[in-house]
Copies of this chain bind each other. A is one copy, B any other.
């Protein structure tokens, strides 16, 4: 993949000036249209060998594009906040909104590539990392992002000459020599870098190898690629990267895991109060332990209206140090959230290791309410299952214990609770027209829940179904499950 880039490619000054003039006008016009339309973000990855002039190429982009809508995110060694979260967290954090351009300097490829070159990971691990990146980029593309991945290349001889020259120049290129690779590693970079580029060059996020022996040639090549990609995207009606898979088919007998639950289970008052206290103490001790500092806890509560999520959450948080937990009630997304990929608004709440996040409703909204109420396309909720699994796998891999609850009650019990709520003085418990509407779609929700549990109950993040018909029984089961999962992890 790098072979043709190692040939000599040169552009003379006059041709460059002429080309540049046209390119710049066209780029500015295209950028302006992207900014105006606000329908997709442009994400440009900058990678390649040292000394290829990546910084200069970026600088050139600032001459050609409007810097008001172009932002460079540079990533080096992870800092304190980044180290205590999943690897991709910092890239998620910085994802540009629709209509904006971002340059990712030191992209998500750097860490696995460096680790492979220095042999701290083996080939199998390297491939797993690349696979995870492929899934991440597929998600971005499906969410509409235009992704351009540039590999700035030099042959070994070109690199040697370039680095010598940089060394001899005062100032200017001092970054180059601080970077992780060096001439003697050129062979490894070419081997592993090519492997990486081949594995991760996809239709929706291709690698573009830029021969960088000549600065003018390099910049024009990059600029033309960007222009072409922008124009293509602006002038063709882009759909999702793939056609939607066949819809989920309900099983003929319409049975779901929910049907297997025994909702008659109860806990007596005496057992409840005694066990509640002992389980809360157990949880408090677990979370306060030394070992927990390198772990973390992420709790997801889902259930139909009036299933008792709020009350259960209060019994859990009562056991926790307020400095270390946050409850996130998930309501309508803000406009900043709507301008970014679906999972962004959950990634931004991923806690640091040692902390606890409690989600009252969650990212599963996409495959529950959004599916049933047809608030998103079929293709969107269908792909959400694997996107969610990827998200949770990363959380688990970083040390988080992910515990997910479905609080189940019967159709009749829900009615009883609605009626009770309507007579209670606290406005807090008022039943909204939405609640009544949702209730009419009971069966549709049931099938959606069944599919959700079938498709997202993974080893890293299994679902626990809670018989919540009796509130006391349900709360105890939740607390015990949380304790067991944390205990097993520590």
A323 to B318, CA, bound (A): 44
In the bound complex, residues from chain B placing their C-beta under 8 Å from that of A310 are 66, 68
Q: Are A327 and B68 in contact (CB under 8 A)?
A: yes
In the bound complex, residues from chain B placing their C-beta under 8 Å from that of A69 are 329
Chain B residue at minimum C-beta to C-beta distance from A428: B32
A315 to B171, CA, bound (A): 21
Instruction: Specify how many copies of this chain sit in the oligomer.
Output: 2
Given A68-B360, A317-B67, verify A32-B326 contact (CB < 8 Å).
no
In the bound complex, residues from chain B placing their C-beta under 8 Å from that of A259 are none
**Contact of A334 (CB < 8 Å), options: B317, B321, B323, B335:** B335
Q: Are A67 and B314 in contact (CB under 8 A)?
A: yes
Is A288 close to B, CB under 8 A? yes
CB distance from A20 to the nearest CB of B (A): 14
Is A29 close to B, CB under 8 A? yes
In the bound complex, residues from chain B placing their C-beta under 8 Å from that of A105 are 322-323
> Per-residue CB proximity of A306-339 to B under 8 Å, as 1/0?
0000100110011001110011010000111000
A interface bracket (residues with beta carbon within 8 Å of B): 35 or more
In the bound complex, residues from chain B placing their C-beta under 8 Å from that of A66 are 310, 314, 428
Is A55 close to B, CB under 8 A? yes
In the bound complex, residues from chain B placing their C-beta under 8 Å from that of A36 are 427
Q: Are B62 and A318 in contact (CB under 8 A)?
A: yes
> Per-residue CB proximity of A18-56 to B under 8 Å, as 1/0?
000000010011001100100000000000000000010
Q: Are B63 and A318 in contact (CB under 8 A)?
A: yes
A69 to B428, CA, bound (A): 13
Q: Are A103 and B334 in contact (CB under 8 A)?
A: no
In the bound complex, residues from chain B placing their C-beta under 8 Å from that of A322 are 55, 58-59, 61-62, 72, 103, 105
A36 to B426, CA, bound (A): 13
Q: Report which residue of A69, A81, A313, A323 has the largest number of chain B beta carbons within 10 angstroms of its beta carbon.
A: A323
Is A79 close to B, CB under 8 A? yes
Q: Are A32 and B72 in contact (CB under 8 A)?
A: no
User: Which label, helix, strand, loop or mixed, suits the secondary structure of the A interface?
Assistant: helix
A32 to B313, CA, bound (A): 17
A335 to B36, CA, bound (A): 20
Chain B residue at minimum C-beta to C-beta distance from A74: B323
In the bound complex, residues from chain B placing their C-beta under 8 Å from that of A420 are none
In the bound complex, residues from chain B placing their C-beta under 8 Å from that of A62 are 314, 317-318, 322
Q: Are A67 and B313 in contact (CB under 8 A)?
A: yes
Chain B residue at minimum C-beta to C-beta distance from A329: B68
Is A253 close to B, CB under 8 A? no
Is A80 close to B, CB under 8 A? yes
Is A285 close to B, CB under 8 A? yes
Interface residues of A in 267-323 (CB under 8 A from B): 285, 288, 310, 313-314, 317-318, 321-323
Q: Are A323 and B72 in contact (CB under 8 A)?
A: yes
Is A71 close to B, CB under 8 A? yes
**Contact of A426 (CB < 8 Å), options: B28, B326, B427:** B28
Q: Are A428 and B29 in contact (CB under 8 A)?
A: yes
In the bound complex, residues from chain B placing their C-beta under 8 Å from that of A171 are 285, 288
A81 to B93, CA, bound (A): 15
Q: Are B329 and A28 in contact (CB under 8 A)?
A: no
A443 to B13, CA, bound (A): 49
Q: Are A426 and B334 in contact (CB under 8 A)?
A: no
A28 to B218, CA, bound (A): 64
A196 to B333, CA, bound (A): 41
A310 to B68, CA, bound (A): 8
29 inter-chain pairs at a CB distance below 8 angstroms, sorted by A residue, are A25-B426, A29-B428, A32-B426, A32-B427, A32-B428, A36-B427, A55-B321, A58-B322, A59-B321, A59-B322, A61-B322, A62-B314, A62-B322, A66-B310, A66-B314, A66-B428, A67-B313, A67-B327, A68-B360, A70-B327, A71-B326, A74-B323, A79-B81, A80-B80, A105-B322, A171-B285, A334-B336, A335-B335, A335-B336
